[in-house]
Amino acid sequence: MFGPFRASPTPPLVDIHGRPGTTLLITAGMDGDEYAPIAAAYEAAEKFRDGDFNGRLIIVPIVNIAGFEAHMSANPIDGKFPKYCIPGHAWGTSTERLIYTLVQTYARHAGLWLDLHSGAQNEIAIDCAWNDITSVEDIDARGTACITALGIDAAIREPAYRGLKTLARYGCAYVLAESEDEGTHAAYIERTMQTLGMLPGTPASRHTRTFSKTRPLRTFEEMHALQDGEVVVWHTIPTHGECRGAIAYDEQTS
Instruction: Give the binding site for Zn ion (CB under 5 A).
Output: 31, 34, 117
- Judged by beta carbon, residue 97 or residue 117, the one nearer Zn ion is 117
Distance CA 245, CA 136 (A): 29
Closest CA to 14 of 41, 52, 36: 41
- Residue 129 has, within 13 A of its CA and on its CB side, a CA count of 30
Distance CA 87, CA 92 (A): 11
- Judged by beta carbon, residue 24 or residue 30, the one nearer Zn ion is 30
- Judged by beta carbon, residue 82 or residue 203, the one nearer Zn ion is 82
Least distance (Å) between residue 82 CB and Zn ion: 9
Least distance (Å) between residue 138 CB and Zn ion: 27
Least distance (Å) between residue 185 CB and Zn ion: 12
Read out DSSP for 189-244?
A: HHHHHHHTTSSSS-PPP---EEESEEEEEEEHHHHTSPPTT-EEEEEEPPBTTEEE
- Judged by beta carbon, residue 34 or residue 180, the one nearer Zn ion is 34
Distance CA 61, CA 45 (A): 8
Least distance (Å) between residue 118 CB and Zn ion: 7
Least distance (Å) between residue 34 CB and Zn ion: 5
- Judged by beta carbon, residue 56 or residue 157, the one nearer Zn ion is 157
Least distance (Å) between residue 126 CB and Zn ion: 13
Measured on CA atoms in the order 169, 153, 80, 73, is the torsion positive or negative? Answer: negative
For 28-182, list the strands marked E by DSSP: 54-60, 112-117, 123-125, 128-130, 154-156, 173-178
Please confirm whether the linkage preceding 200 is cis (ω < 30° from 0): no
- Judged by beta carbon, residue 31 or residue 190, the one nearer Zn ion is 31
